[in-house]
């Protein structure tokens, strides 16, 4: 069975993944003489930097997601298919998906990465990741549901398990989640749960290294740690989480922390795809590519963003796995594919570092620009502006802006809904989860 895509004399570019890189590439090729097939397991693009705000009930999921088909209204050469990549046959130039096979002239792998649990089944099964809107919603439900249970739990130890939270991983995600939780404890929970002594709530951020925000400057890392401590977060450095049994977090020095909820933000890895040679896979399951994003040894297969490992003089260990790398690579690849049609030479990719940032609650953020570092209120304003304009769609930007303004002046959010999934039986027999 083949995926139903109209035949054409245009060369077909198949893009796997509608993240920052895949979506940018499709948009840049939308007016070209290519037939573009964009494949993703969701029918929407999700803005990953704001997942934590969905989890903390600050934003609705629809505010940070945008329907893929809406992006390409009136673009007759763009076709969206909701499915997943299972295998690649580089000799036949075709891919296999649950919907069937599909031939390609150019294949672009931009499917991103997934949570890395380092082979620990307990951590995989019992901690909460945050790599999708659905997982952010699950975390929101878990937090709110446990606070509902806590106000009816008289036993102190049982109550602590319900209200205390551990975040593992001191990167931007872990830092931003810890800051948002601390602000929720300070401003929201005392109003929603006046029967609960919010001083009992402990928030732990555990980082195995000797500093937070490893990819940022020492100045920003120090400022972020200070901001978190001011908010009452217990920052634990130089300790590794070895296990979690659902009630206690076990650390490398033998100490334990009681908590029913552990948010796992401690690592990422690529997904192995059948059909690709083993020798192109490097650390973290990334795919080794040349300066044109071409997978090593493959003439018509490319990789973008987090899944791509590219060495250049300034980045001998590969680029950082951030959105700007994916976006810039996508723009360069789109330009090169257009050049291919015109018979022009391809241009090698060079990453231009535009800076990095993280927010730690209201009026607190850290920003690293190529030649300057900011922290505090001004950095927070920069963070707000950059993330607001990075969202797709005027409507989404407006809704997010309104939510941020409302929250800033009222110290409140109005989205604290527990939305429990229902399980339905599909006519063909498998289960479908509904949020």
Residues carrying an active site annotation: 176
Reading the block at residue 34, the tokens are 């290519």
The alpha helices in 85-216, defined as continuous H runs, are 121-126, 133-150, 156-163, 172-183, 189-192
Can you tell me whether residue 89 is helix, strand or coil?
strand
**Pair 100, 141: CB distance under 8 Å:** no
Backbone φ and ψ for 384, nearest 5 degrees, come out as -60, -50
Distance CA 182, CA 223 (A): 16
Contact 143, 261 (CB under 8 A): yes
Phi/psi class of residue 169: alpha, beta or left (left: φ > 0; alpha: ψ in -120 to 50)? left
Q: Give SS3 for 94.
A: strand
CB 263 within 8 A of CB 127: yes
Query: What is the bridge-based pairing of β-strands 365-368 and 373-375?
Result: antiparallel
Nearest Cα to 110, choosing from 333, 351, 304, 331?
304
Are the C-beta atoms of residues 310 and 287 closer than 8 Å to each other?
A: no
Q: Are 45 and 129 in contact (CB under 8 A)?
A: no
Residues sharing a CB contact under 8 Å with residue 146, sequence separation 6 or more, in sequence order: 162, 163, 260, 261
90 with 298: CB under 8 angstroms?
yes
Contact call for residues 337 and 141 (beta carbons, < 8 A): no
| SS3 category, 170 | coil
* Structure-block tokens of residue 21: 């890189």
């Amino acid at each position: 069975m083949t995926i139903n895509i109209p035949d054409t004399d245009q060369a077909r570019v198949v893009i796997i993944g509608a993240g920052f890189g895949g979506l940018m590439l499709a948009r840049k090729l939308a007016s070209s003489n290519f037939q573009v097939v964009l494949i993703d397991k969701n029918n929407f693009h999700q803005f990953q930097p704001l997942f934590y705000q969905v989890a903390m009930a600050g934003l609705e999921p629809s505010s940070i997601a945008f329907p893929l088909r809406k992006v390409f209204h009136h673009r007759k050469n763009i076709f969206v298919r909701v499915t997943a990549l299972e295998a690649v046959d580089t000799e036949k130039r075709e891919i296999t998906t649950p919907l069937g096979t599909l031939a390609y002239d150019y294949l672009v792998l931009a499917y991103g990465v997934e949570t890395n649990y380092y082979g620990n089944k307990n951590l995989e099964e019992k901690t909460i990741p945050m790599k999708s809107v659905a997982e952010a919603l699950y975390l929101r439900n878990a937090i709110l549901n446990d606070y509902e249970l806590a106000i009816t739990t008289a036993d102190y130890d049982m109550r602590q398990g319900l209200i205390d939270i551990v975040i593992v991983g001191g990167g931007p995600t872990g830092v931003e989640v810890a800051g948002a939780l601390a602000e929720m404890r300070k401003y929201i929970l005392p109003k929603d749960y006046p029967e609960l002594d919010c001083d009992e709530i402990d928030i732990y951020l555990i980082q195995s290294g000797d500093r937070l925000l490893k990819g940022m400057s020492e100045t920003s890392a120090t400022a972020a740690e200070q901001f978190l401590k001011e908010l009452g977060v217990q920052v634990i450095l130089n300790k590794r989480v070895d296990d979690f049994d659902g009630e206690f977090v076990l650390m490398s020095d033998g100490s334990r922390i009681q908590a029913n909820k552990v948010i796992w933000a401690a690592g990422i890895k690529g997904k192995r795809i059948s059909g690709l040679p083993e020798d192109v896979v490097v650390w973290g399951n990334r795919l080794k590519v040349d300066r044109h994003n071409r997978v090593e040894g493959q003439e018509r297969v490319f990789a973008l963003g987090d899944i791509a490992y590219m060495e250049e003089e300034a980045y001998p260990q590969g680029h950082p796995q951030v959105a700007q790398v994916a976006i810039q690579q996508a723009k360069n690849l789109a330009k090169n594919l257009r050049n291919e049609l015109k018979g022009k030479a391809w241009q090698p990719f060079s990453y231009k570092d535009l800076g990095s940032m993280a927010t730690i609650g209201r009026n607190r953020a850290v920003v690293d620009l190529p030649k300057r570092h900011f922290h505090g209120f001004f950095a927070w304003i920069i963070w707000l502006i950059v993330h607001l304009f990075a969202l797709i769609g005027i409507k989404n930007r407006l809704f997010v802006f309104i939510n941020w303004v409302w929250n800033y002046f009222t110290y409140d959010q109005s989205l604290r809904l527990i939305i429990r999934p229902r399980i339905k039986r599909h006519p063909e027999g498998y289960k479908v989860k509904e949020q």
